Structure 1
Amino acid sequence: MVPSPALVGRAYDPSLPFNRSPSTDFEIEHVSASSPGRYARPLMRREMSAYADDEILQNSIARIIAAKARPFSVSGRIPVDPAHLTLFFRTKSGITHSLDFPIDVDYDTPPALDVLIAACRPHPLLEDDYADSESLFYPANLPLTTSLEIANHPILEAVRNTLFPTLPGGHYLNAVRDRLEIVTTGSHMGVQPPVGDTRVATIIVTLPVRYKGGALVVRNSEGEEEKFVVRGGKSGHMEWTAFLAECTSEVEPVQKGCRVSIAYAVHIKTFGPSGVQPDPLIAPSDYFLDQLAPIFNMMRGRMIAWYLNGDYGVNPADVLAETLVPYLKGGDSILYHAIKLYKLSPELRWTAGGYIWPVDRTVECGPEVDGSPYSGGRRTRRQPGVRGAVSTYGEEADEEEEIESLRYRVEESGAIPLSEADIVLLADKTMSGNISKERVPLVSAGELDKLVVNILLVVYVP
């Protein structure tokens, strides 16, 4: 980026009518008493203009960085031919109507559109609004549907990537049709405050009815504003706008035509009982819950644990086991959910070799230390031994020493034996089913190996 001329130091030039004091941060001008004023004034104007331009640039950079850090709205297009869209609705009289698109009310107004407008109700007015500028909405108690299903288009994925980039895994967005809104010629929609329900965002799809004006204005809680001008009825696509639930919205006056849009409420759903807004879709069967009841009754006052069965492809040295809760799948998710239904507090913990790590610790075994009581680094594990009985005894001694060294490193990392943790491991005698296996890179006897780590679901039964 080329720096502003007001911030660049310049060498002294005796031909100029004033002297310059070069500086890396500031430039100071000393006007000579013998210099004519007619030379200094234009130069000062240019310097002041440079300072003003630099301030505008810095303010623009600050605003774009702030907007990039936390966007509150996004818009896009649906690549659908408007001619394939049909709106179906039923009025109080019980008659069902269909409305085909695209529509140009200046050229031809379909009778079904007049019926739709007549069936609508006005939005509540604010004190500074006038009765002749009311916008309309279709009553929620009357049936209404369209041939457009936004779930068939990657709109929700775009909303998630833009407005919810940090949404944990195991969560997804679900859109529920809210209501249809109409703003006719000369009308506008006043400020619509946040709804206050469980939604996290709102999506507004503008139907292909041609109009002019009627820009959608969205403001966040800090007063920042974004304006979206939609050209209704343009062939080849339909336009949509999404904004966070904390934002307010309004529609500027429609100068010509009719603005028709459908609003969708966006909610966060999850398959598990934890997350930003726990609202699981799964429910364990009665049979599954009945098998848990006698276990809890017989294990009162004890800590119990199950092995998980799924492999989740994580490095236990980098993440806590508890962070896998949103990613639980299969029977692991069902068991976790069932325990939560009993109002208990399960937790996930790493385990290996009869040891278990605290819930807030990762599997950090650390490097080999020669000064430890069991230093596996003092001899090489895979050195070929001398044949005979002495060789066999030497190899076994090496393996035992490596195990003792690893046990020492595991204990140094904070892990304790399961027996000391007073945890009852619930497993059948045959150990049927797969057991989750995650792997931690481990340097042992000078070579790189992998320590196999399992996952335990631990819960205290009061």
Structure 2
Amino acid sequence: MSTISSTSSSSRSSDGLPFQRAMSEFEVDQRRNISHSSPQKTRRRTGPVDYNTENAYRANVARLNASKSRPFTVAGRIPFDPATLVLFFRSKSGITHSLDFPIDVDYDLPPSLEVLIEACRPQSVSGLEEFSTHESVFYPHNLPVTTSLELANHPILDAIRNTLFPTLPPGRYLTAIRDKLEIWVKGRGMKPPPRSNDGRVATVSVTLPVRYRGGTLVVRNKAGIEEKFSGRGGRSADMEWVAYTADCEHEIEPISKGCRMSISYALFIRDFGPSGSMPDPLITPSDHFLNLVSPILAISRGRRIGFYLTGEYGVNPGEVLAESLVPNLKGGDALLYHALKVFKLTPELRWTSGGYMWPVDQVIDLRNGDDPALRSPFSVLNGKGSVGSAGSVGSLGSPPRRAALATVSESGDSPQVDLRTLVVKGGGVPVCDTDIYVLPDQGSTGPITREKVPYANQCDLKVMVVSVLLVAFVP
């Protein structure tokens, strides 16, 4: 591997301010030569084919793929000792009670559980006869109830997000609000209740450690596909939870023995951080940090200034916009971005390399489009040096346009392509031709962001090192 490092040169603005235009040379990592291997021969199937078995096989695979592509439920266990679980509630008389677990009502019915059931109300306003055989009861919302189990102490929301909401963009989060404490005694179940219209995106139901039989939870999506969860009650050392999306209906089959108790949580999507239509930042820079930024902005009035970012984000600048890093800003980069927001500025992120800068709405396109030997795109190196497809974007989503690579003829007929020419053709603009004053880089105090975009030059696969500028206009 060979590396060409850039040197920095600084200049002064017309009024003598020590602004730096940009790093003056490109930094290139030469990874390895491109080798072309001959395609492997496909093995031919021999012997008779059972078409009925083949069709059934294909149908099963199709059903599996359909279920895999659109999951509507996810379940798991909470590694929590039931003996340490305590439920606290206040009855109608104003007396606070506690209920210890695990519970087996057929062996011993705790007096506090009787008080809890007595304070509950039916799920619907149906008649008592229908309620006694079909409906559950829930603890009233106007009476306080809590448990020693903290949902936030377990990565349940992360598991739900990864399974049911894999495309949720950065900067949007799942939050849980306790919904109901529900109880089903022997002979009772629950018909599908009306869907909630409170804006929730999913519901999580945690089964408390009380022994029961029957009481299977049935979740059904809009297509009529069912998932069933029997639960373990007090028979397991772990508590079980089930999450299902808001467009599903659910019901509880009748309890044949014991008592089932569960606590449900409503899940909502919230916008935090600098992104979103109504940003609600989770962090606020300290007064000391704001005092450090204030004099720089005071001297820079009427100018567009740029700060180098220092974090490593592991993205390919040829596939994502620099602005897509905003929800993922970390460390001092996040503090600086939020500080500029506090001063009512509109910061934006831009790619920069070798004294060139790309517009905020463009990725870095290093394709040699004018070369007559241009071939089809091939797999490229991602930001961490491993091989991935040209369509891979990592965890930041898809940009407006892609910058796939193309090979150049191996015969040597095509001349070596100049990187600066590719940069200009790909939308790069010299920083000296813009009105942006780049503040001195972090060379003397620490590293700056070094993302990598691969490109092909004849048979060589190289990687250009790219930095990120945080640009803002100071009125």
TM-score normalized with structure 2 length: 0.68
Alpha-carbon displacement from aligned partner over 1:162-210 (angstroms, at most 9, x marks no partner): 2233344566544443331112233333433443445432211111212
Does residue 422 (structure 1) correspond to residue 470 (structure 2)? The answer is no
Q: Structure 1 residues 350 and 124 mapped into 2: Cα distance closer, same or farther (>3 Å)? A: same
* 1:115 counterpart letter in structure 2: V
What is the aligned partner in structure 1 of residue 52 from structure 2?
4
* 1:220 counterpart letter in structure 2: N
Alpha-carbon displacement from aligned partner over 1:245-290 (angstroms, at most 9, x marks no partner): 3333232332332211011233456763226996542123355556
SS in structure 2 at match of 1:331: helix
Q: Structure 1 residues 198 and 106 mapped into 2: Cα distance closer, same or farther (>3 Å)? A: same
Relative contact order, higher structure (CA 8 A, sep 6+): 2
Alpha-carbon displacement from aligned partner over 1:38-65 (angstroms, at most 9, x marks no partner): xxxxxxxxxxxxxxxx6x7766544332
Q: Report the CA distance between 1:422 and its aligned residue.
A: 2.8
Is the Cα contact below 8 Å between 2:123 and 2:136 reproduced in 1?
yes
SS in structure 2 at match of 1:233: helix
What is the aligned partner in structure 2 of residue 218 from structure 1?
219
1:373-392 counterparts in 2 under 5 A? none
Q: Structure 1 residues 147 and 355 mapped into 2: Cα distance closer, same or farther (>3 Å)? A: same
Is the Cα contact below 8 Å between 1:171 and 1:270 reproduced in 2?
yes
1:304-323 counterparts in 2 under 5 A? 304-323=305-324
Alpha-carbon displacement from aligned partner over 1:226-252 (angstroms, at most 9, x marks no partner): 222223221322221111233332323
Is the Cα contact below 8 Å between 1:368 and 1:444 reproduced in 2?
no
- Cα distance in structure 2, aligned partners of 1:337 and 1:244: 34
Q: Structure 1 residues 304 and 232 mapped into 2: Cα distance closer, same or farther (>3 Å)? A: same
Match for 2:425 among 412, 415, 438? 412
- How many residue pairs get matched? 384
What is the aligned partner in structure 1 of residue 37 from structure 2?
none
1:330-409 counterparts in 2 under 5 A? 330-340=331-341, 345-366=346-367, 405-409=418-422
- Cα distance in structure 2, aligned partners of 1:343 and 1:128: 60
* 2:97 counterpart letter in structure 1: H
* 2:426 counterpart letter in structure 1: S
What is the aligned partner in structure 2 of residue 383 from structure 1?
none
Q: Report the CA distance between 1:213 and its aligned residue.
A: 2.3
- Cα distance in structure 2, aligned partners of 1:343 and 1:199: 32
* 2:435 counterpart letter in structure 1: D
Q: Which moved more, 1:346-355 or 1:163-172?
A: 163-172
Q: Report the CA distance between 1:69 and its aligned residue.
A: 0.5
Is the Cα contact below 8 Å between 2:175 and 2:267 reproduced in 1?
yes
Q: Structure 1 residues 94 and 66 mapped into 2: Cα distance closer, same or farther (>3 Å)? A: same
* 2:105 counterpart letter in structure 1: V
Q: Report the CA distance between 1:159 and its aligned residue.
A: 2.1
Is the Cα contact below 8 Å between 1:129 and 1:190 reproduced in 2?
no
Q: What is the percentage of aligned positions where both structures have the same residue?
A: 57
- Cα distance in structure 1, aligned partners of 2:467 and 2:60: 52
- Which structure: greater helix fraction? 1
In angstroms, what is the RMSD of aligned CA positions? 3.9
Q: Report the CA distance between 1:104 and its aligned residue.
A: 1.8
- Cα distance in structure 2, aligned partners of 1:429 and 1:70: 46
Task: Provide structure 1 residue ranges, at least 5 long, that are not aligned to the other structure.
Answer: 8-53, 372-403
What is the aligned partner in structure 2 of residue 435 from structure 1?
448
What is the aligned partner in structure 1 of residue 25 from structure 2?
none
Q: Which moved more, 1:274-283 or 1:90-99?
A: 274-283
Is the Cα contact below 8 Å between 2:200 and 2:246 reproduced in 1?
yes
Q: Which moved more, 1:181-190 or 1:95-104?
A: 181-190
SS in structure 2 at match of 1:166: coil
Is the Cα contact below 8 Å between 1:126 and 1:190 reproduced in 2?
no
Does residue 146 (structure 1) correspond to residue 194 (structure 2)? The answer is no
Q: Report the CA distance between 1:220 and its aligned residue.
A: 2.9
- Cα distance in structure 1, aligned partners of 2:95 and 2:215: 31
* 2:419 counterpart letter in structure 1: L
Does residue 202 (structure 1) correspond to residue 250 (structure 2)? The answer is no
Match for 2:464 among 438, 451, 454? 451
* 2:420 counterpart letter in structure 1: R
Is the Cα contact below 8 Å between 2:210 and 2:259 reproduced in 1?
yes
Alpha-carbon displacement from aligned partner over 1:360-403 (angstroms, at most 9, x marks no partner): 332233459999xxxxxxxxxxxxxxxxxxxxxxxxxxxxxxxx
Task: Provide structure 2 residue ranges, at least 5 long, that are not aligned to the other structure.
Answer: 1-48, 373-416
- Cα distance in structure 1, aligned partners of 2:129 and 2:295: 65
Is the Cα contact below 8 Å between 1:215 and 1:229 reproduced in 2?
yes
* 1:407 counterpart letter in structure 2: R
Q: Report the CA distance between 1:415 and its aligned residue.
A: 0.8
SS in structure 2 at match of 1:249: strand
What is the aligned partner in structure 1 of residue 121 from structure 2?
121
1:30-429 counterparts in 2 under 5 A? 60-125=60-125, 130-132=130-132, 133-168=134-169, 173-197=174-198, 199-268=200-269, 272-274=273-275, 279-286=280-287, 288=289, 303-340=304-341, 345-366=346-367, 405-427=418-440
Q: Which moved more, 1:415-424 or 1:265-274?
A: 265-274
Alpha-carbon displacement from aligned partner over 1:44-99 (angstroms, at most 9, x marks no partner): xxxxxxxxxx6x77665443322111101012223444333222222233322221
Is the Cα contact below 8 Å between 1:215 and 1:230 reproduced in 2?
yes
